[in-house]
């Protein structure tokens, strides 16, 4: 359930390496999983440190972890129209004019391909011009009157729409102003089974299968986001309720190095160093402070999770591990071997999935007072 926050991070190492041609020990969210870096133990020698090498119970006495009260937003529930819109958006991203309808006028609910130019006092204004734009008629994406003005227009026709921007429009230059949009309807994309089959989506060969694929993806994403939010809330409370004797220094330092590697890797993609990256994208936070804060928090949470896993008998067999890694590898277009780069091991994934399972257990046993 926590793939977005945990497992995707482990694979980020391989992804960044492929994109940048340089190595890294982990991606952003894999640093939040059990991905471990090399921690110095003596002189220039390094040693891979792992939760498997540590008895978490020696470092923490876990407090109450069942029946924890949390308050997180309810899971998003979609309507059938939401699935239809997203299916169309997915499909139409791959469609050209040759796949479109040209022998009937635009109707409410149509997805259209249009060119438009907006002018104020006869002069084109910034952001008011586009070619080949996709617009769902009735979506409310454009200002009032724009979409309505295209209903009944035939593909190939050009119309002038005399409109007025809302008084509360975000651009002061356009708020409350009268403008003219010159719009050409190029075509109305049409969904076809044979075209869907050419999109290359696994196990999708017709419109019905594409809609189911989009529906499953949307529902899975909604579930993942809910469980991520709830999992974060409950592990935070359980950690706060726990008593720590001390933190294993080697694991803490390993988590620091892992996070530094991630920050430096991400920074390099923007042509800067880790400290500058943290300052710009971390609200001006100090680099070392950010690293220490992250490593301390994650080390505590991972120790708590390990103790709970042992108490509740949560384990992951080799077969289950391989199946979950294979599923994830396919979802990101690689293989299990492709996930194991730059020092990332199967044990890293095992610990990540186990952490994921612990959070799932905690959420199932939590009491959620849904916040509005």
Distance between CA 301 and CA 304 in Å, rounded? Answer: 5
Instruction: Give the residue from 275, 268, 271 showing the smallest Cα distance to 291.
Output: 275
Q: What's the pLDDT at 194?
A: 87
Measure the CA–CA gap between 73 and 347, rounded to whole angstroms: 33
pLDDT band, very low/low/confident/very high, at 295 (cuts 50, 70, 90): very high
Q: Please provide residue 344's backbone torsions phi and psi, each rounded to the nearest 5 degrees.
A: -70, 130
Of all residues in the chain, what percent are helix, strand and coil, respectively (each to 5)? Answer: 45, 15, 35
Pair 342, 17: CB distance under 8 Å: yes
The residue behind tokens 């592990």 is 235
Buried b (16+ CB within 10 A) or exposed e, 216-249: eebeeeeebebbbebbbbbbebbbeebeeeebbe
CA distances from 42 to 45, 47, 48 (A): 6, 9, 13
Residue 256 corresponds to which tokens in the numbers above? 């620091």
User: Tokens 């004797």 — which residue?
Assistant: 245
d(CA 325, CA 319): 10
What is the rounded average pLDDT of the residues 60-70? 95
pLDDT interval class at 45 (50, 70, 90)? very low
Place 371 in a pLDDT band, splitting at 50, 70 and 90. Answer: low
Buried b (16+ CB within 10 A) or exposed e, 124-163: ebeeeeeeeebbbbeeeebbeebbebbeebebeeeeebeb
Domain segments of the chain as ranges: 7-75+215-368, 95-198
- Determine the average pLDDT of the residues in 234-251: 95
* Span 311-327, average pLDDT: 95
C-alpha atoms less than 13 angstroms from C-alpha of 280 in its C-beta half-sphere: 11
Q: CA–CA separation, 291 vs 276, rounded Å?
A: 13
Q: Tokens 């586009």: give the residue.
A: 130
Helix (H, G, I), strand (E, B) or coil at 73: strand
In the structure, how many helices (H) and strands (E) does the chain have?
10, 11
Q: pLDDT-derived band of residue 130, with 50, 70 and 90 as boundaries? A: very high
Average pLDDT for 16-45: 34
Strand partners, 182: 117, 160
| pLDDT band per the 50, 70, 90 thresholds, residue 48 | low
Architecture of domain 7-75+215-368: Orthogonal Bundle (1.10)
CATH 3.10.50.40 fits 95-198, yes or no: yes
């Amino acid at each position: 359930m926590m793939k977005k926050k945990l497992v995707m991070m482990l694979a980020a190492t391989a992804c960044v390496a492929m994109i940048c041609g340089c190595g890294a020990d982990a991606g952003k969210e894999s640093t939040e999983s059990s991905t471990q870096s090399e921690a110095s133990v003596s002189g220039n020698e390094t040693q891979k440190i792992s939760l498997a090498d540590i008895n978490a119970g020696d470092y923490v006495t876990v407090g109450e972890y069942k029946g924890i009260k949390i308050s997180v937003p309810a899971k998003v529930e979609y309507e059938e129209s939401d699935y239809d819109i997203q299916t169309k958006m997915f499909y139409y991203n791959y469609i050209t004019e040759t796949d479109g309808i040209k022998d009937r006028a635009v109707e409410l609910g149509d997805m259209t391909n249009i060119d438009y130019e907006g002018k104020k006092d006869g002069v084109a204004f910034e952001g008011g011009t586009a070619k080949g734009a996709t617009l769902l008629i009735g979506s409310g994406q454009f200002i009032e009157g724009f979409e309505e003005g295209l209903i009944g227009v035939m593909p190939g026709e050009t119309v002038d729409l005399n409109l007025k921007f809302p008084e509360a429009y975000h651009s002061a230059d356009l708020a409350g102003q009268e403008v003219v949009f010159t719009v050409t309807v190029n075509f109305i994309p049409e969904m076809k089974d044979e075209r869907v089959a050419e999109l290359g989506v696994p196990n999708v060969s017709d419109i019905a299968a594409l809609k189911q694929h989009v529906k499953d993806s949307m529902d899975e994403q909604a579930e993942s986001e809910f469980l991520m939010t709830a999992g974060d809330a409950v592990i935070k409370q359980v950690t706060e309720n726990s008593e720590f004797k001390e933190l294993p220094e080697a694991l803490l330092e390993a988590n620091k190095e892992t996070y530094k590697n991630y920050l430096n890797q991400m920074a390099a993609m923007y042509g800067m160093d880790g400290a500058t990256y943290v300052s710009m994208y971390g609200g001006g936070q100090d680099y070392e402070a950010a690293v220490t804060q992250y490593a301390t928090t994650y080390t505590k949470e991972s120790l708590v999770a390990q103790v709970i896993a042992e108490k509740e008998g949560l384990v992951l067999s080799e077969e289950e591990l391989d199946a979950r890694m294979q599923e994830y590898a396919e979802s990101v277009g690689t293989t299990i071997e492709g996930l194991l780069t730059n020092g990332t091991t199967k044990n890293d994934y095992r610990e990540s999935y186990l952490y994921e399972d612990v959070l799932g257990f905690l959420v199932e046993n939590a009491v959620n007072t849904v916040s509005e």
